[in-house]
C-alpha cells in the first residue's frame, strides 16, 4: 500500500486545479480555430490544385510565358534559267493567344477583330475552337494584313487582349496569273487536309501547296516551323527569351519551265478556253504549260471570302488544268493509226488507197472532211491532206485489236508520269469490254472507224498528244514528261517502241507534208526552221468543235514539240490553233537565230 500510494498523483490544492482547467480550454479552442482555418485553406488548395489545377497552372504560366510560333519561309520556285516564278514578301499576320481570356470572354474580342479585319466572326470562333481555348499556342486567324488594318489593331489594343500582330514571309507570285495552273498556289490547310497529313509534322493553320508545282513539291518547299518561348510582364513586354527553335526555310526548286516561252504561250492562247504545252521531245522536259481560263494565285495569300470563291468558281472551271484533261484528239491521232496499220503487217509502206466523199460501213456513211475525197493516196499523202476515208480503210483492214494495242503503247489510257499526277486524267482507250460495261453494247466496226480519226469514245490529254508527237520526232521513243529540272530519272527514261524504220520515215514525211503543202501551212514561214505537224478538229455536237494542232522542229533534229488545243473553239485546227503553235515556236527559235547571226558577224 505504501508503494502504491507513493506512485499515485499527489493531491493539489483546489485553486490550482481550477486554473489549470481554464488554460486547457483556451488551448483547445485555439487548436480548434486553427484547425478550421487550416482546413479551409487546405480545401481551397485542394480545389485549386486538383479541380482547377491544369487551368490555373496554364494561366499562371501564360501571364509570364508565351509561345510565339514562327512559320518558315517557303522555298522559291525558279525557271530553268534561274528566274523567279514564286517567292516571298514580308507581310503581317494576326494571332490569338487562347489562354489569355476565358472562353466566355472572347466574344467581344472576336467581334472587334471581325470588324477590323473584315472576316466573319464565326471564322474566328471556329479557329479558336479548333485549337482549343486552353492551348498555349498562338493561333493565326489572318494573313496578309494591310498596314491600315495593322494601325487599326494598334488603336484598339486596349480592347484586344490576347491579340498579337507579327511580321512573316508570305507567298508572292511576281508574274501574277502567268503559269498559274502549272505553278499552282498555296493556302491554309483545313481540317480534312490536316487529318490526311497526320504524323507528318503539320499543324492547323499551316500553309501548303494546293495545286501544281506548289503541291507536287510540297515536301521540298515547306520548311520547318520554329519559334520562341519568352517571358513577358503584365503589359506583354518581352523580358527574356527562354528558348528558341530556329525556323528552317524550305528548299528552292528549279523547274524545266522557260519564263519567256511561258509568256509567249500565254499570249498565243490569249482568252481562248483551252491549253498549250511545249516540251523537249528528247528528254520530256516541260518548257511551257498554259490553261485557260486562269486565275491569279496571289488571291490566295490572304483571306478569301466565300463570295469571292464562288465568283471565281463560276468562271468555267478556272482551276482546271486543261493540259492534263482529256478530249477527243481528232486527226492528230492519225499518227497512231499510221503506226498501227504499218506495224500490223496488213499494209505495206507502198500502200495506195483511193479516197472518197464518204465511206459506207454497216449502214452508216462516214464522210470525208472535204466532202469530195483526195483521189488515190499513200500514207504520206493521206497524212498531208488528213484524208479521213483513207484511214477508215486502214482501220477496217487491220481491225480494232492492233489499233487499240498501239494506242496503249503510245501511252494513251494511262497517266504520263508527270509530277502533277494528282491532277492528271489517264484518258480513255475504249475496247469491247469497256463498251459492254459502260454502254451495254457490243463493239461495232463503226467504233473502229471512228477511232482511226481520233473520235468516238477515245480521249486523250494535250500532254499525252504532245508525248505522241515526241515519239514521231525522236525516232520512236516514249519519254516521260517532267517539271523538275534535276530529275535525272525522268530525263534518262526512254522507252523504245521498236518501230520499223519505214514506219518512222513515213510518219515524219507525212507530218512534214502537212506543213509544206497541207493543212498546216501557217507554220511554213521563213522565220522558222522546217517544221512537221498535224491538225485536228474534233466534232462535239451542240457546243462547237475542239481544235488541235501539234508540231515539232527543226524537222531534221527536233528540239521542241508544241501542242495547242482550243476547247469548243469552233473552226479548224489549221485556222485556230496552228497560229498559236507558230507563235510559240517563233518565240523559241528567235533568240537562237539572233545568237547564230551574232556569231556569224564576229
Q: Is residue 544 part of a domain?
A: yes
What stretches of 475-527 show up as alpha helix (H) in DSSP?
488-492, 501-516
The pLDDT of residue 20: 46
Q: How far apart are CA 433 and CA 205, in angstroms?
A: 47
Average pLDDT, stretch 207-215?
95
Residues 202 and 244 in one domain: yes
Question: Are 582 and 561 in a shared domain?
Answer: yes
Catalytic residue among 91, 331, 386, 545: 331
The model's pLDDT over 429-444, given as tens digits with 9 standing for 90+, comes to 999 999 999 999 999 9
**Could you tell me the pTM of the whole model?**
0.83
For the cut 90, the answer to whether the pLDDT of residue 225 exceeds it is no
Taking residues 273-302, what's their average pLDDT? 95
Phi/psi of residue 499, nearest 5 degrees: -75, 145
The answer to whether residues 241 and 278 belong to one domain is no
Residue 404 belongs to domain with CATH number:
3.40.710.10
Residue 565: partners with Cβ closer than 8 Å, 6 or more residues away = 274, 275, 276, 322, 327, 462, 465, 546, 547, 548, 577
Three cell numbers written together for 224 = 520547318
pLDDT at 1: 33
> Which cell numbers hold the place of 526?
521563213
- Pairwise CA distance, residues 575 & 520, whole Å: 8
Which pLDDT band, with edges at 50, 70 and 90, does 234 fall under?
low
Confidence label for 9 from pLDDT (cuts 50, 70 and 90): very low
pLDDT for 18 equals 44
Separation CA 50–CA 340 (nearest Å): 80
Kindly compute the dihedral angle of the four CA atoms of residues 394, 398, 404, 405, in this order, to the nearest 10 degrees: -120
Question: pLDDT class for 17, splitting at 50, 70, 90?
Answer: very low
Q: Are residues 247 and 265 in the same domain?
A: no
Q: Answer yes or no: do 238 and 266 share one domain.
A: no
Contact between residue 515 and residue 553 where contact means Cβ atoms under 8 Å apart: no
- Per the structure, the complete domain to which residue 266 belongs is given by 259-299+321-600
Task: Specify the number of domains making up the chain.
Answer: 2
331: annotated active-site residue: yes
Instruction: Residue 64: name the closest of 99, 103, 18 by CA.
Output: 99
Same domain, yes or no: 195 and 275: no
Distance in angstroms (rounded) separating the CA atoms of residues 65 and 58: 9
112 and 219 together in one domain: yes
Confidence of residue 394 (pLDDT cuts 50, 70, 90): very high
State the pLDDT confidence band at 262, using cuts at 50, 70 and 90: very high
CA–CA distance, 578 with 565 (Å, rounded to integer): 9
Is position 250 within any domain? Answer: yes
Amino acid at each position: 500500500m505504501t508503494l502504491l500510494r507513493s506512485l499515485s498523483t499527489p493531491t493539489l490544492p483546489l485553486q490550482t486545479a481550477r486554473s489549470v482547467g481554464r488554460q486547457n480550454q483556451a488551448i483547445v479552442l485555439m487548436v480548434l480555430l486553427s484547425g478550421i482555418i487550416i482546413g479551409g485553406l487546405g480545401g481551397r488548395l485542394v480545389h485549386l490544385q486538383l479541380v482547377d489545377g491544369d487551368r490555373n497552372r496554364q494561366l499562371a504560366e501564360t501571364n509570364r510565358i508565351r509561345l510565339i510560333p514562327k512559320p518558315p519561309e517557303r522555298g522559291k520556285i525558279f525557271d530553268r534559267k534561274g528566274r523567279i516564278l514564286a517567292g516571298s514578301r514580308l507581310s503581317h499576320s494576326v494571332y490569338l493567344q487562347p489562354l489569355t481570356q476565358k472562353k466566355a470572354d472572347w466574344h467581344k474580342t472576336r467581334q472587334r477583330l471581325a470588324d477590323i479585319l473584315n472576316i466573319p466572326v464565326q471564322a474566328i470562333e471556329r479557329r479558336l475552337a479548333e485549337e482549343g481555348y486552353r492551348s498555349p499556342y498562338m493561333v493565326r486567324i489572318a494573313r496578309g494584313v494591310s498596314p491600315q488594318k495593322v494601325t487599326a489593331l494598334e488603336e484598339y489594343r486596349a480592347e484586344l487582349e490576347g491579340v498579337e500582330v507579327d511580321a512573316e514571309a508570305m507567298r508572292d507570285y511576281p508574274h501574277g496569273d502567268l503559269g498559274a495552273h502549272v505553278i499552282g498556289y498555296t493556302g491554309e490547310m483545313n481540317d480534312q487536309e490536316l487529318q490526311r497529313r497526320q504524323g507528318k509534322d503539320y499543324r492547323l493553320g499551316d500553309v501548303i501547296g494546293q495545286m501544281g508545282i506548289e503541291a507536287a513539291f510540297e515536301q521540298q518547299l515547306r520548311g520547318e516551323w520554329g519559334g520562341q518561348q519568352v517571358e513577358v510582364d503584365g503589359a506583354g513586354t518581352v523580358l527574356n527569351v527562354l528558348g528558341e527553335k530556329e525556323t528552317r526555310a524550305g528548299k528552292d526548286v528549279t523547274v524545266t519551265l522557260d519564263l519567256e516561252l511561258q509568256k509567249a504561250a500565254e499570249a498565243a492562247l490569249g482568252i481562248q478556253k483551252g491549253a498549250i504545252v511545249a516540251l523537249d521531245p528528247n528528254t520530256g522536259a516541260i518548257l511551257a504549260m498554259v490553261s485557260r481560263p486562269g486565275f491569279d494565285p496571289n488571291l490566295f495569300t490572304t483571306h478569301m471570302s466565300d463570295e469571292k470563291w464562288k465568283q471565281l468558281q463560276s468562271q468555267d472551271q478556272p482551276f482546271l488544268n486543261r493540259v492534263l484533261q482529256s478530249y477527243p484528239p481528232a486527226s492528230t491521232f492519225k499518227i497512231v493509226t499510221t503506226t498501227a496499220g504499218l506495224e500490223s503487217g496488213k499494209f505495206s509502206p507502198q500502200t495506195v488507197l483511193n479516197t472518197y466523199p464518204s465511206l459506207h460501213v454497216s449502214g452508216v456513211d462516214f464522210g470525208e472532211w472535204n466532202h469530195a475525197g483526195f483521189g488515190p493516196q499513200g500514207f504520206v499523202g493521206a497524212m498531208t491532206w488528213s484524208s479521213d476515208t483513207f484511214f477508215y480503210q486502214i482501220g477496217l483492214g487491220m481491225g480494232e485489236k492492233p489499233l487499240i494495242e498501239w494506242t496503249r503503247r503510245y501511252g494513251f489510257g494511262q497517266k504520263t508520269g508527270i509530277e502533277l499526277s494528282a491532277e492528271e486524267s489517264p484518258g480513255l482507250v475504249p475496247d469491247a469490254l469497256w463498251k459492254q460495261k459502260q454502254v451495254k453494247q457490243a463493239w461495232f466496226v463503226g467504233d473502229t472507224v471512228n477511232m482511226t480519226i481520233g473520235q468516238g469514245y477515245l480521249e486523250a490529254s494535250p500532254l499525252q498528244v504532245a508525248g505522241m508527237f515526241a515519239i514521231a520526232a525522236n525516232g520512236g521513243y516514249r519519254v516521260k514528261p517532267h517539271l523538275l529540272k534535276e530529275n535525272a530519272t525522268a530525263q534518262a527514261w526512254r522507252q523504245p517502241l521498236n518501230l520499223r524504220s519505214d514506219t518512222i520515215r513515213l510518219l515524219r514525211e507525212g507530218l512534214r507534208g502537212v506543213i509544206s503543202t497541207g493543212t498546216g501551212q501557217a507554220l511554213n514561214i521563213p522565220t522558222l526552221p522546217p517544221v512537221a505537224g498535224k491538225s485536228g478538229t474534233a466534232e462535239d455536237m451542240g457546243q462547237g468543235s475542239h481544235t488541235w494542232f501539234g508540231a515539232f522542229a527543226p524537222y531534221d533534229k527536233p528540239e521542241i514539240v508544241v501542242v495547242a488545243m482550243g476547247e469548243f473553239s469552233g473552226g479548224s485546227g489549221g485556222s485556230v490553233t496552228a497560229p498559236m503553235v507558230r507563235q510559240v515556236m517563233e518565240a523559241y527559235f528567235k533568240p537562237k537565230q539572233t545568237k547564230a547571226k551574232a556569231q556569224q558577224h564576229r
